[in-house]
Amino acid sequence: MQSFGLATPGNGLHDVTEQVAEAIAKIVVKEGIVIVSVPHSTAAVTLVSPWDTLGLEDVHDEICRLVPARIDFKHQHDTPQDAAGHVKAAIVGHSRSIILAEGKLMLGHSQRIYFWEFDGPRRRTVQVQVVGT
């Protein structure tokens, strides 16, 4: 397993595709499945098209519309943003699996890997595990 740190400037989508590719380059496995995971309860991993930055804003705005930060969550560990972050991360998911072929991520032409911060700014970790040959 490889991991790398990430300092998020705030909530939203942060492209980590290149860092994941760099982590994969350090692993001898060239064919298999890459698992990108975040060990945080208020963050997630997703695949999104980067070509229109307004699309990235739309994706983030919609999850915030669906799960707004509010004071009536039953759990309030830290702040309403933190409570909403737990729900958003549970909905989106803490990991993604991507096919690895010939040492390369098999992403579509309009896909990038994004770390999704819901309770930032924070110092975070992204974990990369390859299973295969």
- The string of pLDDT tens digits covering residues 71-110 is 787 776 678 888 899 999 999 999 999 999 999 999 999 9
Query: What is the distance between the alpha carbons of residues 83 and 42, in angstroms, rounded to a whole number?
Result: 8
> What is the per-residue pLDDT for 73?
76
Residue type, 42: T
Encode pLDDT of 112-128 as tens digits: 999 999 999 999 999 99
Q: Is the pTM of this model over 0.85?
A: yes
CATH code, domain with 55: 2.60.120.460
* Number of independent structural domains in the chain: 1
pLDDT of 20 above 80: yes
- Sequence-distant (≥ 6) Cβ neighbours of residue 131 within 8 angstroms: 29, 32, 33, 35
Q: What's the alpha-carbon Rg for the chain, to the nearest Å?
A: 15
> What is the per-residue pLDDT for 24?
95
Find how far residue 51's CA is from the centre of its chain: 18
Percentage of the residues of the chain whose pLDDT score is greater than 70: 98
The domain of 71 spans 2-132
> What is the per-residue pLDDT for 77?
67
Q: Where are the alpha helices (DSSP H) in 31-122?
A: 53-66, 80-92
From first CA to last CA, the distance across the chain in angstroms is 14
